[in-house]
Structure 1
Amino acid sequence: MTKNTHDADVTFIEALAKLLHDNDLTELQVKREYGEDDSLNVRVSRAAPVAAPVQVAAPAPVAAAPAAAAPAAADSDANDPANHPGAVASPMVGTVYMQAEPGAPSFISVGDTVSEGDTLLIVEAMKTMNHIPAPRAGKVTRILVGDGDPVEFGSPLVILE
């Protein structure tokens, strides 16, 4: 590897780190092909910010049975859109766009019926517009992201039922 290629790779990695920081992302992965037998595979990540520990006074004893807390935890898991069986997850880190171009109608609205393969929205990653297709036919019951929202890999985008 020549010095110029090395310097260009370092500059590229520094630009990825800046992109990671500026967009408040936790991870970014890129593969760069230079030729048939030469490539650069880069994964830049950072630890998620850790909240400072909060000291709380010990709660007073409660007469309620401990089993009462279990249904509340189950309800919060059931209400989590990521656990919904109809959730369509983001296949990548990027920015969501609800329409093909500014001023155009949105691809979907709540209540719309979509067919398998219909475009639900676009996720832009590294200046590439990636159309996110419906994995199956169904009715759009919830849209969990807004136009211009940043998303992480695996974030729920839409609920189809």
Structure 2
Amino acid sequence: MADKKTGIDQALIRDLANILNDTDLTEIEVEQDDVRIRVSRMGTPQPIQAYAPQYMQPAAAAAQPVAAAAAEAAPVINGFILTSPMVGTCYYSPAPGSPAFVEVGQTVKEGQTVLIIEAMKTMNQIPAPRSGKVTAIMVNDSSPVEFGEPLLVIE
């Protein structure tokens, strides 16, 4: 009978962590025989400032002098912008017809589920990284989202 290896293969964990860093992945999992190792990283939430998107103006407005257009700068969004941790489809509620997890103006607590992102047929609850008031929801219900895309703003 073969002896089973006891303990955790730290070299394998280091190799997986290096793969995460080299590829900008947030999670990796390997399974070999009866051992499964999952390494993931969650970046420290950092508040950022973002600007509202600029939209194309009609031709008449485009003819205005550049100085006048610069005076009408996009509003600055203040607060913490929660970004998508993965690629998937964003949902406001746990099921069709159910009330939304949060609405603009609502106060949330850290850890409270604010959205769901479906990725590969798995529903991933997205928690609020901090407590505060939801001041903007920046995605539509049932819309596709990319990794790092702004989802909502918490002040």
Name the TM-score, length of structure 2 as normaliser.
Answer: 0.55
- Superposed CA deviations along residues 87-140 of structure 1, whole A, max 9, x for unmatched, are 111111110011001111100011111011110000111111110000111001
For residues 101-120 of structure 1, what are the structure 2 equivalents within 5 Å?
Answer: 101-120=95-114
Correspondence for 1:42 = none
For residues 97-136 of structure 1, what are the structure 2 equivalents within 5 Å?
Answer: 97-136=91-130
Change in 2 beyond 3 A, CA 1:116/1:32: closer
Give the match's secondary structure for 2:124.
strand
In 2, the alpha carbon distance for the partners of 1:126 and 1:38 equals 20
Change in 2 beyond 3 A, CA 1:159/1:127: same
Give the match's secondary structure for 2:118.
strand
In 2, the alpha carbon distance for the partners of 1:134 and 1:97 equals 15
Aligned match for 2:87, one of 81, 90, 93: 93
Name the TM-score, length of structure 1 as normaliser.
Answer: 0.53
Deviation of residue 29 (structure 1)?
9.0
Correspondence for 2:142 = 148
Aligned match for 1:35, one of 18, 32, 35: 32
Deviation of residue 86 (structure 1)?
1.4
Deviation of residue 69 (structure 1)?
8.0
Q: Percent identity?
A: 50
In 2, the alpha carbon distance for the partners of 1:158 and 1:150 equals 14
Deviation of residue 85 (structure 1)?
3.7
The number of equivalent residue pairs is 106
In 2, the alpha carbon distance for the partners of 1:123 and 1:104 equals 16
Matching residue's letter, 1:135: P
In 1, the alpha carbon distance for the partners of 2:32 and 2:71 equals 57
In 1, the alpha carbon distance for the partners of 2:80 and 2:86 equals 18
Deviation of residue 146 (structure 1)?
1.3
- Superposed CA deviations along residues 12-38 of structure 1, whole A, max 9, x for unmatched, are xxxxxxxxxxxxxxxx99856452589
For residues 62-77 of structure 1, what are the structure 2 equivalents within 5 Å?
Answer: 75-76=73-74
In 1, the alpha carbon distance for the partners of 2:36 and 2:104 equals 47
When the two chains are superposed, the root-mean-square deviation of aligned CA atoms in Å is 3.4
In 1, the alpha carbon distance for the partners of 2:132 and 2:112 equals 11
In 2, the alpha carbon distance for the partners of 1:112 and 1:30 equals 31
